[in-house]
Chain A
Amino acid sequence: MEYETVIGLEVHTQLKTKSKIFCGCSTTFGAPPNSHTCPVCLGMPGVLPVLNREVVTCAIKLGLATRCTVNRSSRWARKNYFYPDLPKAYQISQYEAPICEHGYVEADLESGETRRIGLTRIHMEEDAGKNVHGAADDDHSYVDLNRAGVPLLEIVSEPDIRSSEEATAYLKRLRSIVRYLGISDGNMEEGSFRCDANVSIRPMGSDTFGTRAEVKNLNSFRHVAHAIDYEARRQARLLAQGKEVVQETRLWNTAEGKTYSMRSKEEAHDYRYFPDPDLVPLEISEQWIEAVRATLPELPADKEQRFVVEYGLPPQDAATLVASHHLADYFETVAGAVKEAKRAANWVLGELLAVLNKLGISVEESPVEAAALAALIRLIEEETISGKIAKSVFEKMVATGKAPAAIVEEEGLVQVADPEALRPIIQQVFDDNPTQLAQYQAGKTKLMGFFVGQTMRATGGKANPALVNKLLREMLPEPTAPADGG
């Protein structure tokens, strides 16, 4: 039987506020264990949470950016369970009345198609601390509560995703959005953007859902995709064997490329959610929402469309450029300083990305600034250098950080665009290649390319290719026989 995979994703994204969600401790990473803690985030007896206003602003931002309804009134709930990294034995979260509901994210697929993935809800909550397990022969774990109370947004998608490719596209777009909004680093490897996947399968064409498994421990886009594909295969195999899929939580094992059940012996989870009496119901004014709306930057989907319309870029190129707003900004700086935006896009997507990928760095760290790349492209447009020379100038810019004009000057790469200078060179090419000249005259006009190449070589690549073509057509003898194509 052929199956369809049904996927819903739960993403936790850590917010870049200065202080924790319910106390004034710093959220910065990498501090010595338990040095960013206070009575509140340690869950000392008698302490009370007080909500960081900025966390709500971040949630409103993301809600508006994903076309959610921002609820004017929402509530805090306690999720009760015992774990050493959870100091109060409950997590303050939102349950029945989350801050945002019913939105969507539009994700671009490789095919150029766009898929709209629904969002069930976005809610605010506090992160837990970290349990560090001792060495193999140490029968202790060590609890660090620096992360306890760092603000999170949990973004829950509808089960609208049908493949690992769609899942990856959704996650990439969602990550772009949180980065555009400046609310999160969106870094999966460092854990500031975490994803759990609910995966089930059903016979193609069916409209009821199969039993789902929740897969955790996915810390890169690649792992998400692999885990989904593995889970879909595993479930199909079970069904083929006449077995049933069990609703459970499974852990992705990166090394083995498999998911494993993490069923524990303990009782099933019963989180006993109830409204947190320590926090008053959250009321959000229309003015607050409108004030946040006014600060929203242009978002990836809008920017992508504008790039297509305003710069005439192919949708795929636009999509690649807007994935990071830094890359999009870079492109726009270049495009604004040159004549042809398309050429700017080609350079950014081609030469620049190749270099960045090779160096493993982001566009913010690019050794060639946007203004320098624009200067290089202007040299092409002004016909000072050819496109081919420009590529070698770009390599030197990367290596030395020098301005393109300086490199062109130092290396004597200025394009020869003077017909009076080129005519004798072309004449010399004719003189050096009498056989080819004769063949051309006899009708072998394909040799035009040969003469262009010889002339370019004779000028060290500096001749203006268009001018060389023009002069050659003037100076070459008329073919006497009809072109034989041979």
Chain B
Amino acid sequence: MDLAEVKRIGALARLDLGEEETAAMSDQLTRILDYVAQLEALDTTGVEPTTHPVTLGEAFRDDAVRPSLPTEAALANAPATDGASFIVPRIL
């Protein structure tokens, strides 16, 4: 994974990687990708993907209203609020 690719993925993941970090990341991720490339050798034609290892759960809930959180609790951990909403820098 070259530097440009690391920067592209970093932007997608919203990480502000510095120059040194980008270089280290490029080096480490390249080695990891070289390692995982061994999977290419396996023939997986017609093999169904496993998205869930075990599916014995209950898929549904009934359409019933449960109490919401008090607004103070909803906002309790937020870095910036006006007591009603979460505040962010103006969205352009």
Q: A25-B65, A36-B68 are in contact. Are A141 and B89 (CB under 8 A)?
A: yes
A36: B residues at CB distance < 8 A: 68
Q: How far is the CA of A257 from the CA of B63 in the complex (A)?
A: 41
Tell yes or no: B57 within 8 A of A by CB.
Answer: yes
**Min CB gap A58→B, angstroms:** 10
A139: B residues at CB distance < 8 A: 89-90
Residues A280 and B90 in contact, CB atoms below 8 Å apart: no
A450: B residues at CB distance < 8 A: none
Q: How far is the CA of A52 from the CA of B61 in the complex (A)?
A: 5
Contact flags (1/0) for B52-71 with A, using CB distance below 8 Å?
10010101111111111101
Q: Looking at A51, A143, A266, A275, which has the most chain B CB atoms within 10 Å of its CB?
A: A143
- Main SS at interface, chain A: loop
Q: A24-B67, A54-B62, A143-B87 are in contact. List 8 more A-B contacts (CB 8 A).
A: A18-B64, A24-B64, A32-B71, A36-B68, A37-B68, A139-B90, A142-B82, A267-B11
Number of interface residues of A (CB under 8 A): 49
Q: How far is the CA of A51 from the CA of B74 in the complex (A)?
A: 22
- B residues 4-55 near A (Cβ < 8 Å) are 8, 11-12, 14, 49, 51-52, 55
Q: A34-B74, A37-B68, A82-B14 are in contact. Are A144 and B85 (CB under 8 A)?
A: yes
Q: Looking at B52, B57, B68, B91, which has the most chain A CB atoms within 10 Å of its CB?
A: B68
Q: A53-B63, A281-B52 are in contact. Are A132 and B85 (CB under 8 A)?
A: yes
B55: A residues at CB distance < 8 A: 280-281
Residues A34 and B85 in contact, CB atoms below 8 Å apart: yes
**Min CB gap B24→A, angstroms:** 22
Residues A84 and B59 in contact, CB atoms below 8 Å apart: no
Q: How far is the CA of A32 from the CA of B88 in the complex (A)?
A: 18
B67: A residues at CB distance < 8 A: 24
Tell yes or no: B1 within 8 A of A by CB.
Answer: no
Q: A33-B84, A52-B60, A270-B12 are in contact. Are A39 and B90 (CB under 8 A)?
A: no
- A residues 185-234 near B (Cβ < 8 Å) are none
Pick 10 A–B contacts, CB within 8 A, sort by A: A26-B68, A34-B71, A39-B69, A42-B69, A50-B61, A140-B89, A143-B87, A270-B12, A275-B49, A277-B51
Q: How far is the CA of A270 from the CA of B14 in the complex (A)?
A: 13
Q: How far is the CA of A36 from the CA of B59 in the complex (A)?
A: 23
- Main SS at interface, chain B: loop
Residues B60 and A134 in contact, CB atoms below 8 Å apart: no
Q: CB < 8 Å: which of B61, B75, B82, B85 contacts A51?
A: B61
Closest 5 CB pairs of A and B: A24-B66, A54-B63, A142-B85, A53-B60, A143-B86
Q: A19-B66, A38-B66 are in contact. Are A133 and B85 (CB under 8 A)?
A: no
Residues A52 and B84 in contact, CB atoms below 8 Å apart: no
Residue of A nearest to B54 (CB): A280
Residues A282 and B59 in contact, CB atoms below 8 Å apart: yes
Residues A37 and B74 in contact, CB atoms below 8 Å apart: yes
Tell yes or no: A362 within 8 A of B by CB.
Answer: no
List the interface of chain A (C-beta within 8 A of B). 17-19, 23-26, 32-39, 42, 50-56, 75, 82, 84, 131-134, 138-145, 266-267, 270, 272, 275, 277, 279-283
Q: CB < 8 Å: which of A53, A140, A270 contacts B61?
A: A53
Q: How far is the CA of A270 from the CA of B13 in the complex (A)?
A: 11
Residues B88 and A143 in contact, CB atoms below 8 Å apart: yes
Q: How far is the CA of A283 from the CA of B82 in the complex (A)?
A: 43
Residues B63 and A134 in contact, CB atoms below 8 Å apart: no
Residues A281 and B51 in contact, CB atoms below 8 Å apart: yes
**Min CB gap B55→A, angstroms:** 5
Residues B52 and A280 in contact, CB atoms below 8 Å apart: yes
Q: CB < 8 Å: which of B11, B49, B75, B86 contacts A84?
A: B86
Residue of B nearest to A36 (CB): B68
Q: How far is the CA of A54 from the CA of B62 in the complex (A)?
A: 7
Residues A134 and B90 in contact, CB atoms below 8 Å apart: yes
Residues A35 and B89 in contact, CB atoms below 8 Å apart: no
B8: A residues at CB distance < 8 A: 267
Q: A131-B91, A280-B52 are in contact. Are A23 and B60 (CB under 8 A)?
A: no
Q: How far is the CA of A82 from the CA of B69 in the complex (A)?
A: 24
Residues B90 and A140 in contact, CB atoms below 8 Å apart: yes
Q: CB < 8 Å: which of A18, A51, A138, A145 contacts B59?
A: A51
Q: A19-B65, A267-B8, A267-B11 are in contact. Are A51 and B60 (CB under 8 A)?
A: yes
Residue of B nearest to A83 (CB): B91
B11: A residues at CB distance < 8 A: 266-267
A279: B residues at CB distance < 8 A: 59
**Min CB gap B92→A, angstroms:** 9
Residues B91 and A84 in contact, CB atoms below 8 Å apart: yes
